[in-house]
Structure 1
């Protein structure tokens, strides 16, 4: 009987390439804490760090057959995590730049559009910002605001803690409120967010 915990990384990697789930589990158990710590140190956001780690290991499993022979599995995981963090940072920077440009345009007193923003437009802006949230945060936020479920109900449905639900909703509000304020619709926040 093979004792996977005693196998060196190259042997585990070879087994992983063949689709061995136990080898994948051993690699995961060996490296997930290190990869999480590495990612968290870079982005300082627990939920995003967990999402990155989940994505890195999901991709490892899905693309296992394509791993080159003699690949350093820890190096592969660190590189994949770092690249995913860079993608996340770039995406957030582009999003912030875009919102900033819209805010500057709408807050310019020379633009008549500021006075003519109507409820439909505000709801479009709100929906666009909701769609930009990370998938899990968006799902929780929509269950809270669109389906009007309590934190307890959401936690039960998603099999997560109420504290996680509360934190995700708070983070979603933190992400959305400033963007609505930036485009001059602060009054709507009182109506849309309870």
Structure 2
């Protein structure tokens, strides 16, 4: 008789998809609603990076929307493992390119693969420094270029693909023919050697 007063069991609500599941689903289907769900939690992170570089609130807000439009294509091309870090790098590089476009300075230094769209070497300085507050001097950029040139070609290539083109380990392996263990080793050793090279130059 007590069963008459029991409430019928309702099916448990399905757990919301994880970030990794949303990323995989967006890469497969390209549903912009999924992209919006991925981007929304990082809105303030991207806005903060853009404001730091562009200095004006309206410019930073515009950049946030431009970056979202950029992600429509980029997140279907790249297999992203750490979305927060990837978005931070993407926002920083976008702002650097925007500043470079505004400035159009003849002494701007670039690094990267021949024929590839350039990203200012300031972005590469984040390989060896975590300080986002100051732009590097021309002397620092020249030192970085020289240090990169002194690296073994395998390390130089992997650093550019990972930091400049934001490729995953798997994508670097596919692009270079190295196995994953080699890719990780070249990145680790290349970053260490770059720091040592720059430190030895400063110590002179």
TM-score range, shorter chain: 0.3 to 0.5
The one of the two structures with greater contact order (alpha-carbon pairs below 8 A, sep at least 6) is 1
Please identify which structure carries the higher helix content: 1
TM-score for both structures, normalised by structure 2: 0.41
Q: Provide the TM-score with structure 1 as the length reference.
A: 0.42
